[in-house]
Homo-oligomer: A and B are copies of this chain.
Amino acid sequence: MSYIPSTPEERLEMLGATGAQSMEDLFSAVPDHLRFKGLLDLPPAASEFEVISALKEMAGRNKVYQTWFRGAGSYRHYIPSVVRHLASRAEFVTAYTPYQAEISQGILQSIFEYQTLICELTGMDVSNAGVYDGAHAAAEACAMFADKNRPKVLAASTVKPMTAEVLRTYCRVAGRELEFFGAEDGKASSALLEQMLDTSVCCVYAEQPNFYGLVEDYGELTRAAHAAGAKMVIGSYPIALAVLKTPAEYGADAAVGEAQPLGMPPAFGGPYLGYMAVKAADARKLPGRIAGATVDAAGRTAYVLTLQAREQHIRREKASSNICSNQALCALTATVYCAAAGPGGLKEIAMRCVSLARYAARRISAVSGFSMMFEGFFFNEFVTRCPVDPAKLETKLAENDMLCGLPVQTEKGAGILWCLTERNTKDEIDRLVRLLGEVSA
């Protein structure tokens, strides 16, 4: 079945109305030698019951761990029930980009609210409606600031490997240079950055916190970038922004990041949401959709997609953005999530992340062989050494329904990147530490 309402008889009648003799006839423009003969090699149609049963079985072949200690770019936070209920309203789910404003005020307003939210979190002036994910946001931000005279992007070697890879792809393809500047004790070094800065550099990218969970000195990095005439782009964990100094406060020119922690499940990697915000002066450089407030003839507040001169459907090859479909429903989700949590809730989540991570770090690093890899303030992730084969450790923890921290390579050697969120408990950490003790014994 293909969800087609018309019956065979109706189809025949409709065919008649078109003047065609047969279905084949409708496709007469398709040359015969290009016709696919016979049936595609796909399974036969299945009933809804069979499909959902098969997919349940498939889902059952994944392991849903009770306890997580893994983050590295995807985080498990509690998603209030209301978020799913509202974001699954059929009108939101089955609409498309609000090209026709009058029939889409709800969606347009939700984008406007999302933009407001991102500005509040980052301290920036203007947000777009979101891009594909955090790594893509970083790549788009760097592209936004690049030009012929300044074709080079510098990124901290401490950014997430995923972001680094996507940056690499985007830069390579566009013919932009990308170089990574080094770190000291796990933190991007502004001294090393300074050595690499010159007038060919369009922008500098760093992450808050960085891949190892550490908070770097974004003030210094920004000053260095600005001193060389380069722009500063900071990619932040949005929940950390409930408490940590904002990209704007550090002087950044663009704030980007992965908004998945704001109400989206880990879901094997997507859909997630990249956020992007800039200073007012750069508004017209932003890629992607942007909603704005205006009025109708009767003076009523009305929302529209605006500043479209940037976009592909207006300026085509001169556009500063090729984005058409974005991640709108994820932006709505993030907005509802933040409104559900409120500033107090978001701060509480952030403080629990920080506190649990600290407790875990103290406890884990006290286990022989699991000493801390780096010093300095970290948000909710940190790296320890690992005295055993990480694969063995993963298996041991998995037997206890725990998803181990991620085995990582650092400039100081191999280790485990542990992650804590408000979903973790002290008890879980204590149990983990006991298991680590057994492993290291």
Contacts and interface: CB of A to CB of B under 8 A. Distances in A.
Interface of A: 48-49, 52, 78, 80-81, 85, 89-90
Nearest to A51: B81
A420 to B, nearest CB: 16
Contacts of A78: 48-49
A11 to B, nearest CB: 18
A348 to B, nearest CB: 11
A421 to B, nearest CB: 12
A263 to B, nearest CB: 14
A366 to B, nearest CB: 29
Contacts of A49: 78
A5 to B, nearest CB: 12
A47 to B, nearest CB: 9
A81 B56 CA distance: 14
A230 to B, nearest CB: 44
A48 B85 contact: no
A89 to B, nearest CB: 8
Nearest to A340: B48
A48 B85 CA distance: 14
A22 B89 CA distance: 41
A81 B49 CA distance: 9
A52 B90 CA distance: 24
Contacts of A81: 48, 52
Contacts of A85: 90
Contacts of A80: 48
A397 B85 CA distance: 38
Task: Pick the most buried of A48, A89, A90: most chain B CB atoms within 10 A of its CB.
Answer: A48
